[in-house]
Structure 1
Amino acid sequence: MYKKINYIAAVLILLTTISVKAQVTTQSPYSKYGLGNVRGSLLPQFRAMGGISTGVYKPSIYSNINMQNPASYTGITMTTLDMGMSAGFTEVKKNGIGEASFNSTLSHVAMAFPLKSGKSAISVGILPYTELGYEFSSVEKYSATDTNSYNALYSGEGGLTKAYFGIGQQFGDHFRIGANVEYLFGNLQENRSIELQASPSINNRQQNKNSIGGIGFSYGLQYDIPLSSKSRITLGYSGSSPSKVNSTKTFVVTQYFRDAVGEEQAAFDTVLVNENSSAKLKLPLIHNFGFSIQKDNKWMFGADYRMGQWSKLNIDNTNQGLQDSWGFSTGAQITPDITSIGSYFKRVDYRFGFQYDKTYIQLNEQDVKQMAVTLGFGLPLAPNRYSFYKMNFTTELGRRGKSTNGLIQESYINFHLGFTLNDRWFTRFRFD
C-alpha cells in the first residue's frame, strides 16, 4: 500500500510542477466569448473516441471513471485512481497571417470507490471546466464620422475549475442513475487598452475581473439492452442544471505611458476602482444523449448528441450574446485479445473517433463551427496480483472557425496523457 501511495504522490508532484510552469493554459481568440473555452468532463480514454461517454458504461475489464455520466459509476469494481496532463499546439490564422503557440497543464485528478452493496459507487475529483487566454489588437475609430483612430488592445487570462463528488446506483440488472454535486471556482480577467498611435502617449486600460464560486449539479441515467451473455446496447442520457453561482466583480481603470521606443511603463494613476460588486452567474442547461454497442473486452462502438442553451448564459442579469450550441461525436474501441500472453499489442486498446460542433459563437452573422478527428491507445502496464495499471494516450487534430469573411481559423493538435490505477485498497485478505 505504501509503495502505491508513494507512486501516486510522485506522479502528482510531477504533474503539478508541469502545470505551475504553464501559467496560461490556452491562447485562443475564441476564448474571449462566454466563460472561455469549455473543456468538457472527459478523461483521455473517452476523448480518444471522439468524446463519446453518455452511453458508455464499462468499455473493458478495467474500471474507468466516466464523470460525464455519473450513472456509469456503478461499473467501478475496484478502487480507481486516474490522473493526467494535456498539451497542445495551436495555430491562429487570419488574412493569411498565422501565429503558433504551445501550452501544457495538469488535466485531472479523479478517484472512485465501489461501495459494499456492489451496485453503487462514489467518485471525487478535480479538473478544468473552462480556459481563458487571448491577446490581440485592432485599429478602431472614436466614431463612424471621425477620421482619427487609436490602437485597441484586448487580452484575457484565467479559467474555471470543477471539483465534484458523485454517486451512481444500479436498480435491477439493467438500469442505473447517478448525480454529481460540483463546485465551480476560478477567476476570469479581461483587459481592454486604448492607446494613441503617436509615441510617447498617455494610455488608458480597463480591467474586468470576475471571481466565481458556487455549486452546480449534473446527473445521468443508463439502460442496458442485452444482445447475448457478452454483448449489449447501452442507452444513456446526462445533463447539467442551469444553476446560479456567485460572482464578485472588480472593475479598475488605470493610466500608463508607452515611451518613444514602444515600451510600456508601469501605471502611474488609478482613475476608477469598483471592487467586490456581487453578482450572479447563471449557467446554461446542457443535454447529452448517447448509445453504445459492445462485445465485452473485444470492441465497442458509440455515438453522442449534445446541445446547450448558451443563449441564456448571463452574468449580473446581462445576457452574454451567445447562441445555443449543438454537436455530435462518434467513436470506437477495439481490443484484439485482452488475454493474450504472446503479444503485448493484442492487449492494447485501439481507439478512434470524430466530433463536430456548432459552437455558441456567431460572428459577422456566421456560426463558428469546430471539428476534430481523434486517435488513442490504452497501454496496459505490468500488473501485480491485486493491481492493474494502464496508460492512456490521446491525440486530437482539429479546427475551429475559418479564415474567410473576417473570421479567425484555429488549427490545433492536442495531446492527452492519463494514468489509470485499479486496485483493491479496502479488502481484507485471509492467509492460511
Structure 2
Amino acid sequence: MIRKIVIAIVYISTVGMYAQDGTVSPYSFFGIGDLNNESTVENQMMGGIGVYADSIHINLKNPAAFGKLGLEVMDREGLVTYTAGVSNKQFTLKSFTEEQQSSITNLDYLALGFSVGKGLGMGFGIKPYSSVGYNLVDERTVSGNSLVNVYSGEGGLTRVFYSVGYEIFKDVSIGATVNFNFGTLDSERLQQVEDVQFGTFDRRSSRVNGFDFNYALNYSPIIKGRNRLHTSIRVNTQGNLVSKNDRQLGSFSVSTGVNIEEVEVDLISQNLKNTELKIPTTTTLGIGYGEDYKWFIGAEYSFQEMSSFENAFLGAESIVYEDASSFALGAFITPEHGSFTSYFKRITYRAGLRLDKTGMLVNDVDINNFGITFGLGLPLGRSFSNLNLGFEFGKRGTTRANLIEESYFKFNVGLSLNDRWFQKRKIN
C-alpha cells in the first residue's frame, strides 16, 4: 500500500514539474520570484510554524529538531525518516475589471532524516526555493497612440540542503542547515505601438547560485506533569547569491512574430555582467505548549530587513522594498495516538493561520498575504509512518492602484515514512 502511494506522489510530482512553472502569480515579477513555503505538510497545516519538534517527523524549518529524531521512540536506533510532499494550487486572479483562474501542481520537497546516535540527527534533501511564472499586459495611450507592453517570466531557484541537530543538554537542542541555491530567472518585455509594423523586445536572463545558513536553538522543558513548553529562536543568515546575467535587445515583425534584429547588450561595461543578490537575514521567534504526541498550540513571529534588498539587473520601477514580517498560529490534537480500538482516535487534526507582510510596496500599496490552514495526519498501519493531507485558503494583494488580487486554494499531500537502518541480523 505504501509503495503505491509513493509511486502516485512521484507521478503527480513529475507531471506537475513538466506541465508548467511553479507559479502563475503576477507578484513573481518582483525580487527573485515567488518564495515557496519551506516546511512539510505537517507544519504548513499549522500555519507554517516550526517551533514544534518530535521524534518521528522531519522539521525542515528547524534544524535543531533533527536532534529529536528517534529520541522518544522505543527500540529505534538507526531510525530513518523519509518525507515528500506535493501540492495543487488553484488561483483566482482578479483586477478591477477582469477575473481569471489557473492552477499549478508542484513537488514541494523531498528529504531524508536519520538518527546517528542519542540526541544526534542529520538530514538532507531538495526543494524549490522560488518560482517565476507571470504574463502581464500593460496598455496605455501615449501621444494619442496605443502602447502595449507584454511582460512574461519563467524559471526559479532550487535549494539543496544538509542539516544537523544535537541535544547538547537535556531539553536543549541546537542545529544548523547549509543551503545551496541555484537556478535561472528569465524575463521578457515586448513593446508594440499601434499602427507600427515592428515591435521591440528586451530579454534578460540571470543564472543564480549561492549559499545561506540557518541556525536554531530549541528549549523544550517539561513544565507540569506531561505538558511541555516549546521555545525556539532561528536565524536564517543573509543569502549571498551571485547572478551571471545576459541581455538582448531587438525588434520583431508584429504580423509574423519573427525577429528582425537582435543585439547582445555589453553588460561588462555597465558592471552588470556579474551582480550580487543579497537576501536579508530572517529571524524567527517561536513559543508553544502541549503534551507530546497528544496536543499542541504555538505561535511564531518572523522579521526580515527586506528594505535592504535590491536586484540591480532585474529591478522593477514600480516597487519599493520595506521590512517584512510574519505572524503564524498553529495547533494539533491527536485524541489517542496509541489506540488499538479506533483508527479515528489515532488521526492527527491540525489547523492554523498566518499573516505575512511581504515587504513589497507596489504602486505605493502594501502587498500582504493571509491564509487559513487545516489538515489531517492519517496513520499507515501500526507503524510510525503517516499520510498527511492539508488544505489552505488564502488571499494576497489587492485590486487597488491597478494591482491584482490573488485568491487561492491549496491542497497538499505529504508522506512521512519511518524505517530502520543498521538493524543487526539475529540468528537463533
TM-score by length of 1: 0.90
Measured in 1, the distance between the counterparts of 2:329 and 2:425 equals 42
Unaligned runs of 5+ in 2: 71-78
- The whole-number CA distance in structure 2 between the counterparts of 1:94 and 1:8 is 39
Residue identity in the other structure for 2:125: G
Instruction: Tell me which stretches of 4 or more aligned residues in structure 1 moved more than 3 Å.
Output: 6-13, 146-149, 272-276, 315-321
Aligned residue number for residue 25 of structure 2: 28
Q: Which moved more, 1:118-127 or 1:305-314?
A: 305-314
Equivalent residue for 2:122?
Answer: 122
| 1:346-365 C-alpha deviation (Å, 9 max, x unpaired) | 11110011111111111232
Distance 2:5 2:277 in 1: 36
Residue of structure 2 equivalent to 1:223: 219
Q: Answer yes or no: is the 8 Å Cα contact 2:145–2:193 preserved in 1.
A: no
Distance 1:174 1:121 in 2: 15
1:234 maps to what in 2? 230
Match of 1:362 in 2: 361
- Is the partner of 1:24 in helix, strand or coil? coil
Shift of 1:149: 3.7
The correspondence of residues 147-162 of structure 1 with structure 2, limited to 5 A, is 147-162=144-159
Determine if the alignment matches structure 1 residue 377 to structure 2 residue 376.
yes
Conserved 8 A contact 2:191-2:200:
yes
Residue 141 of structure 1: how far off its partner (Å): 5.2
Q: 1:69 aligns with which of 53, 62, 70?
A: 62
Q: Per the alignment, in what secondary structure is the counterpart of residue 285 of structure 2?
A: strand
Q: Are the structure 2 counterparts of residues 13 and 371 from structure 1 closer, same or farther at C-alpha, using a change threshold of 3 Å?
A: closer
Distance 2:400 2:239 in 1: 37
Q: Deviations over 1:177-233 (max 9, x none)?
A: 10111100011111111112227x211110111110111111111111311352211
Alignment of 1:308-327 (within 5 A): 308-315=304-311, 321-327=320-326
For the pair 1:175 / 2:167, whether they are aligned, the reply is no
Among 36, 49, 52, the alignment partner of 1:39 is 36
Evaluate the alpha carbon distance shift between residue 394 and residue 289 of structure 1 in structure 2; reply closer, same or farther with a 3 A threshold.
same
Q: Which amino acid aligns with 1:72?
A: A
Q: Match of 2:103, as an amino acid? A: F
Stretch deviating more after TM superposition (411-420 or 226-235): 226-235
Name which of structure 1's ranges 364-373 and 295-304 shifts more when overlaid on structure 2: 364-373
* 1:11–1:28 Cα change, 3 Å: same
Aligned length: 413
| CA distance, structure 2, for counterparts of residue 273 and residue 154 of structure 1 | 19
Specify the alignment match of 2:74 in structure 1: none
Q: Displacement of 1:318 after TM fit?
A: 9.0
- Tell whether the 8 Å contact from 2:387 to 2:415 is kept in structure 1 after alignment: yes
Contact 2:332 2:350 in 1 (8 A): yes
| CA distance in structure 2 between the aligned counterparts of 1:346 and 1:205, rounded to whole angstroms | 60
Residue identity in the other structure for 2:260: F
Rounded to whole Å, the distance in 1 between the matches of 2:426 and 2:172 is 34
Question: What is the distance in 1 between the residues matched to 2:409 and 2:339?
Answer: 33
> Are residues 96 and 112 of structure 1, via their aligned partners in 2, closer, same or farther at CA, if it must alter by over 3 Å?
same
Match in the other structure for 1:97 = 98
1:269 aligns with 2:261: yes
SS of the residue corresponding to residue 227 of structure 1 reads strand
Say which is worse superposed, 66-75 or 403-412, in terms of deviation. 403-412
Native 8 Å contact 1:18 1:106 kept in 2: no
Q: Distance in 1 between matches of 2:151 and 2:56?
A: 45
Equivalent positions of 1:285-364 (< 5 A) are: 285-315=281-311, 321-364=320-363
- Residue identity in the other structure for 1:378: G
Amino acid at match of 2:274: S
C-alpha deviation, 1:17, in angstroms = 2.3
In the alignment, the residues of structure 1 paired with residue 403 and residue 20 of structure 2 have an alpha-carbon distance, to the nearest angstrom, of 27
2: CA distance between counterparts of 1:41 and 1:69? 10
The residue identity in structure 2 corresponding to 1:331 is G
| SS, match of residue 417 in structure 1 | strand
Residue 395 in structure 1 maps to residue 391 in structure 2: yes
Q: What residue is the counterpart of 2:132 in the other structure?
A: 132
Q: Quick one: which amino acid aligns to residue 83 of structure 1?
A: A
| Among candidates 413, 418, 421, match of residue 422 of structure 1 | 418
Using the TM superposition, give the Cα deviation of residue 40 of structure 1 relative to its aligned residue in structure 2, in angstroms.
2.9
Q: Does structure 1 conserve the Cα–Cα contact (< 8 Å) formed by 2:68 and 2:167?
A: no
The 3-state SS of whatever aligns with 2:400 is: coil
Report the CA distance between 1:136 and its aligned residue.
1.1
Q: Give the distance between the partners of 2:83 and 2:266, measured in 1 at CA.
A: 42
CA-CA distance at 1:94 after TM superposition: 0.8
Residue number in structure 2 paired with 1:108:
109
Cα deviation digits, residues 57-116 of structure 1 (max 9, x gap): 22xxx6111121101111111200001211110011111310100111111100001112
- Choose 228-237 or 297-306, whichever is displaced more: 228-237
Q: Is the 8 A contact 2:93 2:406 kept in 1?
A: yes
1:51–1:336 Cα change, 3 Å: same
Question: Are 2:270 and 1:278 equivalent residues in the alignment?
Answer: no
In structure 2, give the amino acid aligned to 1:237.
I
- C-alpha distance in structure 2 between counterparts of 1:275 and 1:209, whole Å: 12
DSSP-derived class of the 2:43 partner? helix
TM-score, structure 2 length as denominator? 0.91
**Identical aligned pairs, as a percentage?**
29
Secondary structure of the structure 2 residue equivalent to 1:213 = strand
2:354 maps to a residue whose letter is Q
Structure 1: where are the runs of 5+ without partners?
none
Structure 2: which amino acid aligns with 1:215? F
Q: Quick one: which amino acid aligns to residue 122 of structure 1?
A: M
